[in-house]
Every structure is written in C-alpha cells, then in structure tokens.
C-alpha cells in the first residue's frame, strides 16, 4: 500500500523541480567575479545582466564544456554594451567599449570551455585602453553611465581628443578585427566549442559599427 504513496511523492518532487527550472530567467548563466577576486560566482541582475553587488546570491562555477545558455549570455552582454556605447558621442566610445569588454571578460566562466575567449576579450580591452591613454582629452568633461540593459555597473567614461578621433577609431577597429579573428581561430581547435566561439566572435565583430569617427 505504501508504494503508490512513494511514487506520488517522487512525482510531486519532480514536478516542483521542473516548475522551478521553468521560472529561471532566460539569460541566467554567465558568471561574475566573487568579491575580493576569490573565484567566480553566478549572479543575476534585475533585467538579465549578470552583476555583483549587495544582496546577490553567489555560487561558485567553473565550466569545462560550453553551453548555448552561457554562450548566448556572453553574446547578449556584448550586444548590450554595444547599444550603450552607441548612445554616446564618438569621442567616448573607445573608453566605453574598453570598460564594458573588461566587465564581460570578468564575467566569462573560468575553466577550459571559455578560457581562450576570456583571454581574447580581456586582451582586446587592454589594447583599447592603450589607444585611449595615448589620445585622452584631459580637458573634456567625463560622462557617467548608469549601466546598460545587461550590466548595471556604473561607469565613468573619458573622451579622446577629437582631432585624433579618426586615427584612434581606425586603431580600435583593428583591435576588434584581430580579436574576432583570434576567436574564430580558437573555434577551430575544438569541435565542441566551435559554434560557441563563432557566436562570440560575431558579437565582438559587431562592435566595429561603434568605431566610426562620425
């Protein structure tokens, strides 16, 4: 007589788990650094962007296999950064893209699945930073960002000298093109991650539209 009751209990538990999973936001999955730099944590922002902050629930994550869930989250974060930076005067866009790519790199999961992607995006941000530093306009006002649709972290962006804008934008486009090429090459090294790295490469490449002097 107890067997039907036990079966019903198992079915109830499975149904509850399924409903819980169905309620997770579509963009949950990309990770953000834990406070103090100790490992990685998974957190969600109010509109899908993954952030750290007070009140966040942190869960350590390290991934060995790429997933569509995580890859889509990374690509969407890049897309949101591009939309944010496009709203600013072109003299602020290199610094905006630099800082947001660095944010995104810090949120890419550690582990072999995305390690090369994380390094490539971070290196691109660093190279954009060198272009920014070489052309900074210390007299121009700095602008403050309240974040974008995916990453809510507040940032302050610095302008580059307008007379250097065309040259700086050309250099920045080269950085993005090289990062895109590196991601595509990395996709050839593993059949499991090929499509994932191509998606990230396409998202990174799409940011070139920002890097126009007019």
Domain boundaries, the chain: 63-210
Collect all residues with Cβ–Cβ distance below 8 Å to 77 and sequence separation of at least 6.
Answer: 30, 49, 50, 103, 104, 107, 150, 151
Give pLDDT, residue 213: 72
Collect all residues with Cβ–Cβ distance below 8 Å to 80 and sequence separation of at least 6.
Answer: 49, 148, 149, 150, 151
Nearest CA among 153, 97, 152 for reference residue 126 = 97
For the segment 42-66, the average pLDDT, to the nearest whole number, is 45
What is the secondary structure of 1-31 as a DSSP string?
-HHHHHHHHHHHHHHHHHHHHHTS-TTBTBE
Among 125-129, 155-159, 198-202, 209-213, name the one with the lowest average pLDDT.
Answer: 209-213
pLDDT at 101 over 90: yes
Collect all residues with Cβ–Cβ distance below 8 Å to 134 and sequence separation of at least 6.
Answer: 168
With cut-offs at 50, 70 and 90, classify the pLDDT of residue 64. confident
Give pLDDT, residue 146: 83
Identify which has the larger pLDDT, 146 or 4. 146
């Amino acid at each position: 007589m107890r067997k039907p009751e036990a079966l019903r209990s198992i079915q109830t538990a499975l149904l509850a788990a399924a409903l819980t999973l169905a309620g997770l936001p579509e963009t949950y999955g990309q990770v953000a650094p834990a406070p103090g730099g100790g490992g990685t944590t998974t957190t969600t922002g109010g509109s899908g962007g993954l952030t750290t902050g007070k009140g966040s629930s942190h869960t350590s994550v390290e991934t060995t296999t790429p997933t569509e869930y995580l890859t889509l989250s990374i690509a969407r974060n890049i897309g949101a950064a591009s939309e944010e930076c496009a709203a600013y005067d072109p003299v602020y866009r290199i610094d905006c893209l630099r800082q947001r790519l660095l944010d995104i790199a810090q949120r890419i999961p550690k582990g072999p699945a995305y390690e090369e992607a994380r390094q490539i995006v971070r290196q691109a941000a660093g190279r954009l930073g060198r272009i920014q530093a070489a052309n900074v306009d210390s007299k121009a006002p700095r602008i403050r960002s309240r974040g974008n649709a995916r990453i809510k972290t507040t940032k302050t962006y610095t302008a580059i000298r307008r007379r250097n804008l065309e040259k700086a934008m050309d250099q920045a486009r080269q950085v993005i093109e090289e990062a895109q090429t590196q991601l595509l090459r990395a996709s050839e090294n593993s059949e499991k991650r090929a499509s994932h790295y191509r998606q990230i490469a396409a998202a990174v490449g799409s940011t070139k539209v920002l890097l126009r002097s007019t």
